[in-house]
Each structure stands twice: as C-alpha cells, then as structure tokens.
Structure 1
Amino acid sequence: MNIEWQSFIGSAQDRPGRPRPDKLFDLSPLGGLRIQGKDAASFAQGQFTNDIEASTHKRAQLSAWCSPKGRVLMSFWIYARDDGFVLSSAVPITETLSNRLKLYVLRAKVDIDNELKGHVRLGCEGALVSARLEDYAGPLPIRIGEVTQTPEGLSIMRTFGEERFELFAPTATMTTVWPMLSEVAALQPASAWALGDIENGVPVVGAEVTDEYLPQMLNLMELGAISLEKGCYVGQEIVARAHYRGKVKRRMYMAAIDTPMLNAGDEVLSKDDEARVVGRVLAAATDSDGRYRAQVVLNVTDAGTDLQLTTGDTLNARQPPYDLDSGDSPTVP
C-alpha cells in the first residue's frame, strides 16, 4: 500500500458547490504490475499473448496472460517504462496472480512488483479534465494505446472511450496533478473504471472468471491483443490451434439488464429451456441510471435467442462495438 498517497487522498478536501461533470478515478486500489530488470522484455515476450517487442514508451498494447490450458488468467494494457514494463487492468491484479507469474522467472534477471511502490494510477474521463491535463502535460495521445510521458515522470495513455485516459506517475508528481484535475472532475470509486471497458467491449477478467475462456472467446483477436507471428508463450499452442482449426463456439457479447443484482460468473439461461445454461456473465457494472451493463460469454448459436438470468430477468445480447471474426481491430493500431 502506498501510505503517502493514501494519506494525501484521505486529506484532500472535496470541492462543494458547482457541479463537475467529468470523472476522476483513483485506481491505486486496483494495483497493477511492474516487470523490471535486464531480462524484462524477453520474460514478458515468453508469457503474454501479444508481441511485446512492439510495446514501447510511446505505445501500449492490449494483451493477456494465459494458463497452460490456453485460458485467460488476466487481460491488461502493457507499455514500456524505465527499464521494464507497466501492466494495468480495470480489475485488481491479485497477489495470487503476481505470485503465479513469479514462478516462471526462474533464472531470468527480472523483478515483479504488484504494489507499484512509490507510484500511483489514476483514470480520468471527460473534455474538461482532458483540457486541464493537456495544460499540464502538453498534447495528449490521439490514438487508442498511444502513450506520452512528461519529464516529471507522468505517463498518459489513451484508452477506449470518449476522452478517457489512464495516468501513472511517482506519488510526488501525482499529488501535484491531482488538485488541478479535481477542480473539474468528481472522484469516482475505482470499481467504476471497469464500466468504460465493459461498454467498449474490452474484456474485464476478474477473479471469478479467471482461467475459464480462450482469448478468442473474449474477442481479444479482434482487439489486436494476440500475435500469431511471435514465438512461444504460455498456452500458445492451444490459442494457435483454436485460430487455425476453426471458429470457437463461444464469444463475448454485450448486454444492458434491469435486475437488482448481477455478478461475474452468474449463469445465463435459455428462455425456451430454463434448465439449459447457454453462457455466463463475464463482468458487470452499473451505469449512471443504476442499470447493469454487462459482458456475457455465450454459445454463438444461442446469442440471438431469448435469454434470461436465473432470477428470471430478461437478457438481450448484442454485438460489441466492433466486427467479430474481422481478424483485426478497427480501433487499436
């Protein structure tokens, strides 16, 4: 835990009075990973689904880490920083996953830190807060996945969504940036950051659904998060086989649902045959109207049929905001 940052954020006074339509997220409770050391690049290349050689200080990649079964353990953004890489996700990267990744280090000269010691993650969303950020840092990234870094150590990555950025910096830098941004943006809970990914079709893989789905089932091929040209990585043979031998039978879809409670892992049933499970909820979060927005992984053959939750509430699945089976991503360079 970053005690210095927690002390600062705890004492920072909220600003009453005029409304602030933009949003600011303290993402530090979600943690993250830093992979550093002489062998950081080769280690990451042998673990993750994307081609890490294309991840630089100016370009982040969407990627995933799989189990030997080829199932996704976590999905994340990764970009180069200092002598290694920063990994960030919309859900907590748990100590269990961090320790599991450390088992693969062996003799590699690599240090893996899931506490982001001395550093802070923030998210911001909206035109006003983006303008404030630009006043401080200069021109902001234009394309999704683009990263800019300031001399003060502030990394700014554009992510999916309208005027949506993730920030990473030493604590001292972030305590300087925070007051300026908080003048025009209201603080939101860290858990609310996932809503942006859910609405934009970026899979949110929490602890409840880890090691359940192939990357292709979560549309990571369409999002440019899988390289078929790079060498071996954990689970690579199974992921490649799923690509070259035919289509997967389950895919991730979107849904807006009126229900009192919805959690990752909840079953989705066929309305015609209530005993038949046709999929599960991958991730869910409430929007400003209190309605659940969700990602659901369904049998492809059932995606267009009448569906419901175990509560009896109707679920209408729809396509994500990109073409499935396109083979490439319309939004990520």
Structure 2
Amino acid sequence: MTDWSALVGATPLNERRVTFDTPNQARQALDASVRIPLIHLGILEVAGTDAERFLQGQASAQLTLTSSGFAPLTCFCTPKGRMLANAQVVHVEEQRFWLILERSLLASLKTHLDKFAAFYKAEMQVRDDLALLGMIGNDAPALLETKLDIEPPAIWHHACHGDVHALRHPGPRPRLLLIVPAREVSAVWESLAHQTLPVGNAVWCLHDIQAGLAWMSDVHRDAYLPQMINWEALGGISFKKGCYTGQEVVARAHFRGQVKKRLIRAQLDGAELPAPGSPVEDAEGKIQGEVFSAELDAYEQAEILAVMTTKEVASPLSVAGQRLKPLKLPYAVERLDPESLAEKG
C-alpha cells in the first residue's frame, strides 16, 4: 500500500487514522471548511467486457442506474444475506467501475468476488495508486468548482474533470469526497490550502455517524443483514433488480418485516470511545445491542452508531458505564428506492 498521506503532511496515529496540529478539529468542521486525507478508505476496481453484468449478480445496487452519474450505495452478501462489505459504486467509464469501501475490507471482498469473476470477462485490482480526500464545509462546493473546475454533484452522484473525481455525501455540513491520482495529491491538497484547514479523518468518520452512515470494517464482516444498518433507508438496496447473492434472504426480511435489529444514533455522557462490538446494556444489565462505530464530537463527547434490538427495552441504556442518549437519525427508517434517488439527481 502506498502511504500517500505523508505527501500531505499528515501524522499517523494508527493504520486507520491520521491527524494534524490543527486545534479543535471537530469544531473546525462546524465553523470553517476543512480538507481531510481519507486513509481509511480504498478502491477496488472492476473492469472488463462483463464488468457490469458481473457486478449486477453480486451487488445490491442496480448497476444500470450508474451510467448517468448516479453513484449508489451497495453491499455484498453471503448466501444467507449477511454483509461482507458495503460500498459506493462509481461508473468511471464503459465497463469500468470503482467500489469505494473501508480499506480493511478490500482484500477479503476481492477474494470473495474472485470466486465468481472466473466465469466472466472481468478483472479486479486494488487501486493503491489513487488517493481519497474529503472536504467539509459550506464553502466546499464552491471550492470544488473554482479550484478543481468540477461542477458540484448532487448527493450520491459523481462528477469529474480530467483525472480528479468528486462525489457528494450527506452530512450536517456539505461533504465532498475526491478521488485523485496519488502523483497529483500534493498539488490538489495545496490548491485548497488557503481556504481550508487540514484535519484528521476522525472528523469525516464523525460526520458519517451524524449522517447515520454505518461503513463496515473487517470487524463487522458476516454479522448483519443490510437492513440492520438501515441500508435500505439510504437507497443501498434495489428491490426492483434481479437476483444477486443473498437477495432472497434480504428481500424476505424486508417484505415479511423480520428485521429484529436496527441502527440507532446516540451520544454518550463521557469522552471514552467504546470499541466496535461493545455491548449496550439496559437498566437491568442485559445486553440489548452493540456499538457499531464511535467518534468524539466538537464538545468532546462520544457519538455512536449502535445496532439495537427493535423490542422495547428498560431504560436508561449505557455503554461501559456511560449513559446513552438517543439522537434522531437524519432520515426516515423506511425503504428508499435507489431508482428514485437517481431520478432526483
């Protein structure tokens, strides 16, 4: 793996996180515009004569929708409907697609898909030569246009100019994800320097939590049905497409209402970040769910996504002794067809 984050002056904290000397980084993303190296994300490319047909049989997304700039969410499942990875699909050119997902899942997803790709004219490769950057802030769309000559796309859509690609993500502030050749990352980073502050990628992950977006990592493999992380409420499942691996189980859970766990958003009354999988306990000490992801917010309090039972539970809830305060998700927990999202874009 190419460590391109060193090219932008980032300080590594671990394999998934980098930071900068910028003070109060989560706060800066509320008050100013920021730029972020997204080292926790990577790209798996699928290309070849049968690339679309191959992905159509494996992904929950409707691949035919991607030709018009729509960049839908998707997931890849076992035959039992459990997710192996979730991703965003970018149609780069004819029969060439990029899957954006957590870097820790790139190798395992490729290994899984390799079993099916042998029957198609499609090849896969991890694109370590590409860097992913984030921009957050009210000025981000204007900067994309003035600095990089890219018209800001709609949410879950894609636009590009030359070798630089941009995608719009939801969140409490405008968010843009940039895909840049690693050889050009320093120039793009510096072009944004006068109007943005550098912050670590924990800020981007915090905004994912605040947007109710649960991006899987290697610790989540084979643990959840897509609906358990509200993936159908974000347009991540097409119920109008044909078969894909796990489709029967996913569809049955939807149409029969058999989803017994759901993703919630919450705040803890302390600054201790729980690890993924940490139990959420009710007032009687019984486990009613588990933490999916956690980050510190602008006020140094832990915000989390958790997968919880849909049954009524005894409150108050807590995680590692920290009381849990439920927060409202920024979307309705109901089916959202990606076909309608593509039309709105």
Q: Is the 8 A contact 1:155 1:167 kept in 2?
A: yes
Q: 1:217 aligns with which of 225, 228, 242?
A: 228
- Counterpart Cα distance in 2 of 1:218 and 1:211: 13
Q: Structure 1 residue 229: deviation in Å?
A: 1.6
Structure 1, residues 182-241: CA drift from partner, whole Å, max 9, x if none?
222222223432211111111222222221111111111111111112111111110011
- Counterpart Cα distance in 1 of 2:300 and 2:51: 42
- Counterpart Cα distance in 1 of 2:262 and 2:226: 10
For the residue of structure 2 that corresponds to 1:75, the secondary structure is: strand
Structure 1, residues 289-325: CA drift from partner, whole Å, max 9, x if none?
221111111111236842112x222112244111123
Q: Structure 1 residue 121: deviation in Å?
A: 1.2
Decide which moves more: 154-163 or 134-143: 134-143
Q: 1:250 aligns with which of 253, 258, 261?
A: 261
Q: 1:261 aligns with which of 248, 251, 273?
A: 273
Q: TM-score under structure 2 normalisation?
A: 0.85
- Counterpart Cα distance in 2 of 1:253 and 1:304: 16
Q: Is the 8 A contact 2:132 2:180 kept in 1?
A: yes
2:109 maps to what in 1?
A: 97
Cα pair distance change 1:15/1:219, threshold 3 Å: closer
For the residue of structure 2 that corresponds to 1:93, the secondary structure is: helix
For the residue of structure 1 that corresponds to 2:203, the secondary structure is: helix
Q: Structure 1 residue 31: deviation in Å?
A: 1.9
Q: Structure 1 residue 164: deviation in Å?
A: 0.4
Structure 1, residues 271-299: CA drift from partner, whole Å, max 9, x if none?
1x21x211111111112222111111111
Structure 1, residues 161-194: CA drift from partner, whole Å, max 9, x if none?
2220011132344333211112222222234322
One-letter amino acid of the counterpart of residue 95, structure 1 = A
1:112 aligns with 2:124: yes
One-letter amino acid of the counterpart of residue 2, structure 1 = T
1:9 aligns with 2:20: no
For the residue of structure 1 that corresponds to 2:311, the secondary structure is: helix
One-letter amino acid of the counterpart of residue 280, structure 1 = E
1:55 maps to what in 2?
A: 66
Cα pair distance change 1:290/1:137, threshold 3 Å: same
One-letter amino acid of the counterpart of residue 332, structure 2 = D
Q: Is the 8 A contact 2:282 2:314 kept in 1?
A: no
Matches within 5 A, 1:46-85: 46-56=57-67, 58-82=69-93, 83-85=95-97
Q: 2:329 aligns with which of 299, 309, 320?
A: 320
- Counterpart Cα distance in 2 of 1:247 and 1:11: 45
Q: Structure 1 residue 129: deviation in Å?
A: 4.1
For the residue of structure 1 that corresponds to 2:304, the secondary structure is: strand
How many residues are paired up?
Answer: 325
Matches within 5 A, 1:1-333: 1-2=1-2, 5=4, 8-10=7-9, 21-56=32-67, 58-82=69-93, 83-89=95-101, 92-114=104-126, 116-138=127-149, 140-150=151-161, 152-161=162-171, 162-259=173-270, 260-271=272-283, 273-274=284-285, 276-302=286-312, 305-309=315-319, 311-328=320-337, 332-333=341-342
Q: TM-score under structure 1 normalisation?
A: 0.88
One-letter amino acid of the counterpart of residue 118, structure 1 = D
Q: Structure 1 residue 107: deviation in Å?
A: 2.7
Q: Is the 8 A contact 1:129 1:184 kept in 2?
A: no
Decide which moves more: 185-194 or 152-161: 185-194
Structure 1, residues 74-128: CA drift from partner, whole Å, max 9, x if none?
21211101341111136643422322222221232222122x1432211111133
2:17 maps to what in 1?
A: none
One-letter amino acid of the counterpart of residue 238, structure 1 = V
Cα pair distance change 1:6/1:215, threshold 3 Å: closer
Residue ranges of structure 1 left out of the alignment (5+ in a row): none
Q: Is the 8 A contact 2:273 2:294 kept in 1?
A: no
Cα pair distance change 1:221/1:15, threshold 3 Å: closer
- Counterpart Cα distance in 2 of 1:326 and 1:186: 37
One-letter amino acid of the counterpart of residue 105, structure 1 = A
Q: Is the 8 A contact 1:30 1:190 kept in 2?
A: no
For the residue of structure 2 that corresponds to 1:144, the secondary structure is: coil
For the residue of structure 1 that corresponds to 2:238, the secondary structure is: coil
Identity of aligned residues (%): 28
Cα pair distance change 1:35/1:308, threshold 3 Å: same
Residue ranges of structure 2 left out of the alignment (5+ in a row): 12-19
Structure 1, residues 12-37: CA drift from partner, whole Å, max 9, x if none?
9x899xx9732211124532211111
- Counterpart Cα distance in 2 of 1:140 and 1:302: 46
